[in-house]
Structure 1
Amino acid sequence: MMDEHEITLRAELADAFRICHALGWSESVGNHFSAALDPDGKVFLLNPRWQHFATISPEDLLTLNSGDPSVMTRDNAPDASAWCIHGTIHRRLPSARVVLHVHSPYATALACLEDPTLWPIDNNTARFFGRVAYDLHFGGIADALEEGERIAGALSDKSVLVMGNHGVTVAGPTVADAFEDLYFFERAAQTLMLAYAAGRPLAVLEDKVARDTAEGWVAYRGMAARHFNHLRTAYGLANNAG
């Protein structure tokens, strides 16, 4: 029987899928979100293979153990790339409680630049100063063990991984926190890509100013739960916890 923690986590993760679809960040029946259930992160929830974000409900989520290689031989095996990325991250990085991977438009466009650095040029871009990792070794569909190991190693203790020629992966302590970083990273990438489109030099903030801005955002962490719950209500989701 599920405990209250798992019931709540399933509801929040299911709603995150639906919200991301409503925001235009889903891609056919691909991309994946996961959330750790146990303290060491090895047992985790993951969306089923090839189920559209807009249709995912709490009971649809798979319960997987990242230490169990037989997962991929079962009838309800997850998508190979999801197992490769999320399974490895949860096995290697217990602090990554919630992992969201999408190909959102602006984050993906940024990831396709020769230099995808998220330069701090405003509040939202500076929010991520010192918190972004980059993996520029795209090798096609990430479904091989070495790909997962490399991706987890690149993410390490950062909150965001820009995956060159691919997309973005965000890790956070809760669904709301991870979603908030995903939301603001997409906004930050949009601002930077629009600034690049102007064809004029960027006014990049000094490191100290960017660092102070990033640290200043810490006091606003409570925004994440408020924003996430607002979106759950705004989109009339059945899993809304109120």
Structure 2
Amino acid sequence: MNQMAPYAQDVRDEDLCNLRIDLAAAFRICAQMNWHESVGNHFSAAVSADGKSFLMNRKWQHFASIRASDLLLLGATDNSVMQGSDAPDASAWAVHGTIHRLRPDVRVVLHAHTPYATALSTLKDPSLKPLDNNTARFWGDVGIDLGFGGIADAAEEGERLADALGQNSCLMMGNHGVTVTAPTVALAFEKLYFFEKAAQTMVLAYSTGQPLNVLSDDVAQKTAEGWIAYNGMAQEHFSHLKRQLDRVDPSYRD
């Protein structure tokens, strides 16, 4: 079991417990969807108002085995955490720690190498074109980073990615993968879910070799705004997936 570090938190103990459970559930669900990367990739969630105290998985633990109690409580300005036996890997620290430190409004950060989003990230133009409801959902809300220089394990890499994210909630990491952010784990998971579906649509549309029928900016904007009324889907979808986990293996709650 992870020993919690003495970092300040602004959430109540009960809320922190629920946050741990939700984040652990997100790992398990993503493992079921084959969105894990061996024992790599990281998810995190802020527990303090300034974002400098956050939960994250330690290095090299498979998504399918993560429990609520396994999540580390880290301080974004405390580099000594990298010296611990349960330290996260350097790339996770550089990306998640920096984003939480520079964007305190970002509460949950999910980074993954989902198949279609990653395939799209390797294109010269990795942007999501508004082609349908799912692709237009992300209109005007995706930053793009084209500065890939290998594994992002240096502080300047994290700062560049945070800058590329800007005020968007999603980041297409060129030649790398995708990072999504949201106020809650359920909303972040839903964003990752639909981003992968949108990327799949893009890749399949490109594969036909036919010209894309791209929506106008006005229609894309209207569609993106129309999704706001459906935000409630996220919690219902995530709750359903958690119930499925509970029937099969509820150990993520431990």
Same fold (TM over 0.5): yes
SS at match of 2:250: coil
SS at match of 1:48: coil
2:250 maps to what in 1? Answer: 238
1:176–1:225 CA contact under 8 A, matched in 2: yes
Query: Offset at 1:101?
Result: 0.3
1:147 maps to what in 2? Answer: 157
Query: Offset at 1:239?
Result: 6.3
2:8 maps to what in 1? Answer: none
Q: Which runs of 4+ in 1 moved over 4 A?
A: none
Aligned CA RMSD, in angstroms, stands at 1.3
Query: Offset at 1:71?
Result: 1.4
What fraction of aligned residue pairs are identical, expressed as a percent? 63
2:24–2:252 CA contact under 8 A, matched in 1: no
Is 1:202–2:203 an aligned residue pair? no
In structure 1, what is the Cα distance between the partners aligned to 2:142 and 2:191? 11
1:15–1:239 CA contact under 8 A, matched in 2: no
Query: Offset at 1:67?
Result: 1.0
Query: Offset at 1:72?
Result: 1.3
Q: Which amino acid aligns with 2:250?
A: A
Query: Offset at 1:76?
Result: 2.1
In structure 1, what is the Cα distance between the partners aligned to 2:252 and 2:89? 27
Q: Which amino acid aligns with 1:46?
A: M
Query: Offset at 1:240?
Result: 8.1
2:100 maps to what in 1? Answer: 90
Q: Which amino acid aligns with 2:233?
A: M
In structure 2, what is the Cα distance between the partners aligned to 1:220 and 1:120? 18
2:118–2:175 CA contact under 8 A, matched in 1: yes
What is the TM-score when the length of structure 2 is the normalising length? Answer: 0.92
1:233–1:240 CA contact under 8 A, matched in 2: no
How many residue pairs end up in the alignment?
Answer: 241
Is 1:79–2:89 an aligned residue pair? yes
Is 1:50–2:67 an aligned residue pair? no
In structure 2, what is the Cα distance between the partners aligned to 1:201 and 1:239? 48
Correspondence for 1:59 among 49, 56, 69:
69
Runs of 5+ unmatched residues, structure 2: 5-11
2:171–2:179 CA contact under 8 A, matched in 1: yes
Query: Offset at 1:159?
Result: 1.0
Residues 136-194 of structure 1: CA distance to partner in whole angstroms, max 9, x if unpaired?
A: 11010100111000001111211110000000000000000000000000000000100
Is 1:158–2:168 an aligned residue pair? yes
Runs of 5+ unmatched residues, structure 1: none
In structure 2, what is the Cα distance between the partners aligned to 1:5 and 1:42? 17
In structure 2, what is the Cα distance between the partners aligned to 1:234 and 1:82? 29
In structure 2, what is the Cα distance between the partners aligned to 1:217 and 1:75? 43
1:11–1:239 CA contact under 8 A, matched in 2: no
